[in-house]
Amino acid sequence: MRLTDCHNFHDFRRLAQRRLPGPIFNYIDGGADDEQTLRRNSAAFGGVDLVPGILRGVTDVDLSVTTMGQKLDLPVYLSPTALQRLFHHQGERATAAAAEKFGTMFGVSSLGTVSMEELARKHRTPQCYQFYFHKDRGLNRAMMQKAKESGIKVMMLTVDSITGGNRERDLRTGFSIPFRLTLGGMAQFAMKPMWGLNYLTHEKFSLPQLDAHIDMQGDSLTIGRYFTEMLDPSMTWDDVALMVRDWGGEFCLKGVMSTEDARRAAEIGCTGIVLSNHGGRQLDGSRTGFDQLDEIVQAVGDRLDVMMDGGVQRGTHVLKALSLGAKAVGLGRFYLYALAAAGQAGVERALTQMRAELLRDMRLMGARSVADLGPDNLRFR
């Protein structure tokens, strides 16, 4: 199977599975507990039908949107995700370059493997910085200050991960950073020698956003332990309000799911929220961002920008979210599988296909621009 054999989300997933050692593939692929929410994220889109309009004279289609003060050429952005250089040695460098080529926003994670400063210097496309609220308040302030000095315009605080989700696939393989694998996990690495060769012959793995503040070299820090031991479960709305004031710019909460919390975010000065259940990796059995989108847009859509992520695999999924009022839609596994499959070339192919689907589907809907989409385009089953 080659990159040219990849024509949709599922093809990229299959190629990624062939190229990655099992523990790393399962880290991307897995969710919490019984993975019900992971599956529901995509299934939710199937409960809504598109109602196309005809004879609208659609020749040119404008896919651009503005969200969080950033003009994007596409109504999708590349959500911040951790550990990208484990999936492909290019990591965030490939993601950022592809995002710039397509004129959209990308995110850098606190657990990113390329520094936000480097990416901000190299790329003019909008960049958001996603960070977690640590017990060490000085670390929180330092990370925000570093983002500001780097010229990043959008701060994105993840609020659904004050403790780690129960990701049983990782427990079975022993997946951790640095690697401390079970015997079964080591055997799966041995079966993918090309991945190991690339890992050993390229830049040493690091977490530059954290390395200056946390010594991770002498311990086996699992992702679950990072969330459980280093993040602060006592975080409150007062803490976030202070960060919003200190940042003084576009500030987004990622992981909002209730109307009450969306209203509170608007009240403390947030300019955006992302409806998200962390890709089904935290609270299994929770609602999906798409399920909650309509009621939250109706409640606060005139006060801040509402975005969503989770389970997006097709252009039609994006159109359904835009029709309900989402300002933009975040892609996660959609581009991670493509990154794992072929680096920058894979991400660019995935985005090329997404753009083609959006253009074709907009024409079939009779919509010249995103502004032409609305609830009248949808019927719930």
Helical packing angle, 9-19 and 22-29, nearest 10°:
150
Pairing relationship of beta strands 154-158 and 378-380 according to DSSP bridges: unpaired
Could you give the CA distance from residue 231 to residue 223 in angstroms, rounded to a whole number?
Answer: 11
DSSP conformational letter for 110: T
Pairing relationship of beta strands 70-72 and 65-67 according to DSSP bridges: antiparallel
Q: Are 251 and 270 in contact (CB under 8 A)?
A: yes
Q: Are 188 and 21 in contact (CB under 8 A)?
A: yes
φ and ψ at 164, to 5 degrees?
Answer: -75, 145
Q: What are the CA-CA distances from residue 272 to residues 99, 262, 323 (Å)?
A: 20, 9, 18
φ and ψ at 313, to 5 degrees?
Answer: -125, -15
Strand partners, 78: 106, 331
Element (DSSP H or E) covering residue 98: helix 92-101
Could you give the CA distance from residue 204 to residue 85 in angstroms, rounded to a whole number?
Answer: 10
φ and ψ at 262, to 5 degrees?
Answer: -65, -40
Give 239-244's long-range contacts (Cβ < 8 A, gap of 24+). 239/133, 240/133, 240/157, 240/159, 240/268, 240/270, 241/268, 241/269, 243/140, 243/144, 243/155, 243/157, 244/268, 244/269, 244/270
Could you give the CA distance from residue 336 to residue 211 in angstroms, rounded to a whole number?
Answer: 23
Catalytic residues: 278
Tokens of 366: 């009779």
Taken in order 103, 108, 113, 117, the sign of the CA dihedral is positive
